Amino acid sequence: MKKLLLYFLLIFSISVFSQIPSYYNDVNLTLTGTALKNALATKITTTHTTYISYTPGVWDALKQTDLDPTDNTKVVLIYGWDDTDSDITNDRTRDKDLHGSGSGVWNREHVYPKSLGIPNLGTTGVGADAHNLRPADAQRNSSRSNRKFGAGSGNSGATVTGDWYPGDEWKGDVARILMYMYLHYGNQTLPTNVVVGTVNISDPNMIDLLLQWNAEDPVSDLEKQRNPVLEIIQGNRNPFIDNPSFATKIWGGPQAEDLFSGSSSDTQAPTAPTNLTASNTTQTSTSLAWTASTDNVAVTGYDVFNGSNFVTTTTNTNYTVTGLSSNTAYSFTVKAKDAAGNTSANSNTVNVTTLQGSGGGTTTELLISEYVEGSSYNKALEIANFTGTSVDLSIYKIKKQTNGAGSWSGGYTLTGTLANGSVFVVSHSSASSAVTSVANATTSSSELNFNGNDAIGLFKNDVLIDAVGVFNSTDTFGANKTLQRKSTITSPNTNYTVSEWNSLASDTFSGLGNHTIDGGNPTDTEVPTAPSNLTSTNITETSVNLNWNASTDNTAVTGYDIYQGASVIATTTNTSYSVSGLNVVTSYTFSIKAKDAAGNISNASNTVNITTVDTTAPSAPTNLTSSNITQTTVDLSWTAASDNVSVTGYDIYQGASLLASTSSTNYNVSGLTASTSYTFSIKAKDAAGNTSNASNSINVTTDNTPATGTASDLIISEYVEGSSNNKALEIANFTGSTVDLSNYSLKKATNGSGSFSTTMSLSGNLANGQVYVIVNSSANATLQALANTTNGTVLTFNGNDAVGLFKNNILIDLLGNASSSSNFAQDVTLRRKSSVNSPNTTYTVAEWDSFSQDTFSGLGNHTLDGAADVTAPSAPTSLTASNVTQTTVDLTWNTSTDNVAVTGYEVYNGATKIVTITNTNYQVTGLTPNTSYNFSVTAIDAASNTSSASNVISTTTLSNTSSTVVSQSYFESGWDNWADGGSDADRYSGSRSYEGSYSIRLRDNSGTASAMTSQSYDLSSFDTVEIEFYFYAYSMESGEDFWVRFYDGSSWSTVETYASGTDFNNNGFYSATVILNKNNHTFANNSQIRFQNDASGNADHIYIDRVTITGKTGTLQSKGKTSNSVELIRTMLSNEADGINEFSIYPNPVTSSVLTIKMDALHAKNYKIVNTIGQIVLKGKLTSNQINVSQLKKGIYFLEITTPEEKMIQRFVKN
């Protein structure tokens, strides 16, 4: 029987851990390698919807995630292994509430250390991700510090190489945490920055040691406990805990356990538990019970929650919650779960208020409630207030009589306000941290440096009201002990009475900071503090999540009221709340007030104003119909769409191209071509930019062109007998109506045989004014492109083969003589004259114009005298937009063609024509910054025929210009934000540094060893990036150069080259600027800059200094570079320092437009103003004592005044 039960439990365990949580339903788990890595990274990032605070958020989370599965009053400590020996630093578990700093407590271990993140992880966002935080003994955590992980065995500790081994029990936990951090935060948390070992062959950021640990140390029950709890708290899971084999599938290495193998497809959640009740409620506990849930497979357990805080998991339908606070309100719910990880909805909520605790009676006055006379400076006094109201302490003093002799001391005056039911602790400032940590005040005054025979008195308005010890007595009453006032004492006593006090051993501090008094409950009139830092997140159409910092209270905060405007809409015990039932696109104001058990309500928190969003698209328009079809227009109408807010317009589509937009439910389409088929559909849109599905599509064929032609029947309008197989015939229709070609055929009489033996039947319809081109099927590409169809029989004619056009098998038009083998059209193109308006069964040379061999320019169109032009130009193609600014955009397109001539182009913004021009380019002006536009172009001819629209080009104007300094590096205190490339890069100190003492020296051409590389920058939001720097060249041979390189997130490229003899000379300083824009480069969120020397030896040096990287939005500066000598400005700085300034200027700084000069013999002297990079920005001849500097930008400038004898320089600032 025991074997059977063990087998059942084993099978049950396997079934539990082989299920795939529904969390992964939208992840393709068949992927491998980088594809799987990216899919899991996207999943854990997008589902991480709640970022908890470091304090108290992480503390509260770890008390749920890391509860000891065998004792829910304790947390499990990472790196620990033994609770039974005398060394507390290696404890494996500890009381969950015993946390903080010092000895014997636990704190929060960042498994991926904050300081090793690039940049530092901090304590918000990534630094507060609870997947990376574990409880740890505070001293063991300190021993680990930020040591990198390394190989080892046994228990945790530092290795001989100074690395940290987490311990055999914990190495798998560490590996899975670091893999999660890598997937979630990418370059900020690379494994290579925190683990020592061999780099993975497929991913240079991964260390194989982690794959080994992941395989050797399987997932523990504690890890499996953490994942579902953190999914509730943060929204996401660690996939490597759910299935360690993900690591093997991504990076290879030893096979880790596959917890998803043989998994079922169970995605059905259990039913919610019902009839949740509470009973046997005490001051610190309550018993919960509920009716069991059901499941399609089996319910495997129940999760118990206090508000949104996880309490425990149980397989029973009852649970006793312990460790509660007296007289406090709680809200409990229960969820059921199954083996596949499916979780039910919440049960009903049961609200419980624990019983009132003992203590808290009223007193007549403040009293001394505790006296500590411990070792060394461990001296403290506790003053208690149970008067029923808050007390101003400023009228109270503590006084001492030394050794039972003399008078009372001058006294130590208390400060602040003491709430009813609270105590005030004052200690000696040199007491141990166990004392000072609970003290409200510390002091080194003599009153807190008492001994056991020094009487202590509490004075009110300098009148004694309470005493410890006997005045004028040398008896030792309190040496090396702690005295605690008994809870039965309700009044102070000026006569020290031993029976009022409990005596405890020396250095007993456990009661310090709280006191109780028998005799009922005091009246609590103190309100909680106002909640702070109220924020809103996850705003949807109907809901918003509110979060705030907890309030404090003299007893306890029991709940929070959520206000919508002036109305209370809900109450919660948590510091977060999800408001639901809101209206779409509606503004709301929320605030929070805290309350306590006595009904005291705090002031309101800050308010947050939110507007719900609209993500619902309109319904699709229906019943699209057409009417009033002409040769060039059609009327469209449809039934209006509906929307949860309102429909703001409709987009009309011709095929897949956006044609126009309108706010009506009808539209007149114009500019169509006669006898042509079109397909139209409509989409609705709303103010939020949501677009509906397309309406039904309708097909429309425009009418035939009215009869305006002058030909009696079809004619052969062109004949091509060119080189090789370049043969073609053109048939023209100018009859005034569309002609059915199925009644017509072409025939050939070979070599004057007298009979037409080869036939080609025609098909289709030929519109009035149009031509039909037939080309030999082996003709060249130029001819093939002009063909309506091809043929390999009749179209094999030579210059002596007659060709006839037949209608109903009767000859109506002829080229050549069917009975003559003479060449009539060899190696020529014949084009029918425009004056010929009828076919002719006798070939007449005068009806034709002759052109040289392989002339195809007229093929595809024909004109006839007296016939109206009804042929529209071809549509413009390849419409593009460039040089986008805040208010302008340049449009260009390819030329259209026409049977006569294109006379112009119409430019449209949406459905609105903005201009008609004759060029194939146009600059649109007067646009609004940061606004989207849709442009298209049509062509027109002299007969007002309009082409169909070009492609639609969508463009968004730039935002208003802004500039952000991304990085500034001067190298005076280190490499700043740059990395040393290697042996040929060095931080240099000396005269070749442009500013200060230091610069970076690059030499030789050793690849990245001759380079300096910046840290990663997020440049993705910028339109233009400027790299400004200063450099000095030494011993660079002519033609030798250095490069500025750019990393776009995937690869490096050289963006500019500076060459000796072209861009600079040796032994001089230069300022340089490299400009990049987003049209030429991809600005990524991990972009980098690199300077790299490309000289020929160690003696060839470039010195880089004062590098400034600036990102700009709203401007697309042209890509390019500059380099300017800055020797002038260095000379000016030197001259200014030497005191060559025999004139004065004012005001300085200049706040107006005028700079005034004061000096002798001012007139007719030359002047120039130079900026800090050596550029002359203003110059001229002085004609008065003032210079207009209004055109100068804010900054530092140098004014140089020149006479034949000297130069004088002054620096000034323009504000």
Residues 226, 61: Cα–Cα separation, whole Å: 10
Residue 1189: what residue type? V
Fold of 877-956: Immunoglobulin-like (2.60.40)
CA dihedral 963, 969, 972, 975 (to 10 degrees): 160
Neighbours of 1185 (CB within 10 A): 15
Instruction: Please state whether beta strands 1101-1113 and 501-504 pair in parallel, antiparallel, or not at all (unpaired).
Output: unpaired
Distance of CA 35 to the CA centre of its chain: 21
Global pTM exceeds 0.75? no
Residue 285: what residue type? S
Residues 394, 441: Cα–Cα separation, whole Å: 13
CATH number of 274-353: 2.60.40.10
Residue 116: what residue type? L
Does domain 367-504 fall under CATH 2.60.40? My reply is yes
The full set of domain ranges for the chain reads: 20-251, 274-353, 367-504, 532-611, 622-701, 715-851, 877-956, 962-1125, 1130-1214
pLDDT attached to residue 77: 96
pLDDT attached to residue 1121: 64
Burial label, 610 (beta-carbon count in 10 A; 0-12, 13-18, 19+): middle
Sign of the C-alpha dihedral, residues 701, 702, 703, 709? negative
Which of these, 557, 565, 562, 566, lies nearest to 576 by C-alpha position? 562
Longest Cα–Cα distance of the chain, Å, equals 157
pLDDT attached to residue 265: 56
CATH number of 962-1125: 2.60.120.260
DSSP H helices in 1085-1153 = 1127-1137
Angle subtended at Cα 976 by Cα 974 and Cα 977, rounded to the nearest 5 degrees: 150
Sign of the C-alpha dihedral, residues 228, 234, 235, 238? negative
Distance of CA 164 to the CA centre of its chain: 34
Please answer whether residues 771 and 714 qualify as being in contact, where contact means their C-beta atoms are separated by less than 8 angstroms: no
Which of these, 391, 461, 459, lies nearest to 423 by C-alpha position? 391
Helix (H, G, I), strand (E, B) or coil at 141: helix
* Secondary structure in 3-state letters for 1027-1060: EEEEEEEECCCCCCEEEEEEECCCCEEEEEEEEE
Residue 17: what residue type? F
254 Cβ partners below 8 Å, 6+ apart? 211, 212, 215, 216, 248
pLDDT attached to residue 813: 93
Q: What is the DSSP letter of 245?
A: H
- CA distances from residue 264 to 260, 446, 465, 1055 in whole angstroms, order as listed: 9, 75, 76, 54
CATH number of 622-701: 2.60.40.10
Instruction: Give domain 1130-1214's CATH number out of 2.60.40.3080, 3.50.50.60, 2.60.120.560, 3.40.50.620.
Output: 2.60.40.3080
pLDDT attached to residue 1162: 57
Sign of the C-alpha dihedral, residues 1146, 1148, 1154, 1157? positive
Which DSSP string do the residues of 900-940 spell out, in sequence order?
A: S-EEEEEEEETTEEEEEESSSEEEE-SPPTT-EEEEEEEEE
Beta strands in 550-643 (DSSP E): 557-564, 567-572, 576-579, 587-596, 608-611, 622-627, 634-639
Helix (H, G, I), strand (E, B) or coil at 1075: strand
Neighbours of 530 (CB within 10 A): 18
Cis amide prior to 228 (ω within 30 degrees) = no
Helix (H, G, I), strand (E, B) or coil at 596: strand
Burial label, 664 (beta-carbon count in 10 A; 0-12, 13-18, 19+): exposed
Residues 66, 72: Cα–Cα separation, whole Å: 9
Residues 607, 888: Cα–Cα separation, whole Å: 41
Which DSSP string do the residues of 1149-1215 spell out, in sequence order?
A: SB-SSEEEEE-SS-TT-EEEEEETTS-EEEEEE-SSSEEE-TTSPSEEEEEEEE-SS-EEEEEEEE-
Please answer whether residues 998 and 1107 qualify as being in contact, where contact means their C-beta atoms are separated by less than 8 angstroms: no
CB-based contacts of 951-954 (< 8 A; 24+ apart in sequence) = 951/657, 951/877, 951/878, 951/879, 952/657, 952/658, 952/879, 953/879, 953/880, 953/881, 953/891
| Phi-psi region at 296: left, alpha or beta (left = phi > 0; alpha = psi -120 to 50) | alpha
Which DSSP string do the residues of 251-279 spell out, in sequence order?
A: H-SSPPP-TTTT-----PPPPPPEEEEEE
Which residues does the chain have with pLDDT short of 50? Answer: 1-18, 263-264, 357-361, 520-521, 706-708, 1127-1128, 1133-1134, 1136-1140
- CA distances from residue 500 to 463, 467, 489, 495, 1035 in whole angstroms, order as listed: 21, 11, 7, 11, 92
Please answer whether residues 721 and 799 qualify as being in contact, where contact means their C-beta atoms are separated by less than 8 angstroms: yes
Residue 231: what residue type? E
Question: Does an H or E element contain 22, and which?
Answer: none
Which DSSP string do the residues of 56-94 spell out, in sequence order?
A: IIIHHHHHHHTEETTEEEEEEPTT---SSSS-GGG-SEE
Token digits for 520? 């009922």
Which of these, 1095, 1105, 1106, lies nearest to 1035 by C-alpha position? 1095
Instruction: Give domain 532-611's CATH number out of 1.50.10.20, 1.10.1660.10, 2.30.130.10, 2.60.40.10.
Output: 2.60.40.10
Gyration radius from the chain CA atoms: 45
Residue 1148: what residue type? N
Token digits for 517? 């008094």
Helix (H, G, I), strand (E, B) or coil at 1082: coil
pLDDT attached to residue 107: 94
Which of these, 334, 359, 204, lies nearest to 271 by C-alpha position? 334
Q: Do domains 622-701 and 877-956 have the same CATH topology?
A: yes
Q: What is the DSSP letter of 125?
A: G
String of b and e for 174-206 (b: at least 16 CB within 10 Å)? bbbbbbbbbbbbeebbbbbbbbbbeebeebeeb
Residues 745, 763: Cα–Cα separation, whole Å: 9
Terminal-residue alpha carbon distance, the chain: 92
Fold of 715-851: Immunoglobulin-like (2.60.40)
Residues 555, 595: Cα–Cα separation, whole Å: 11
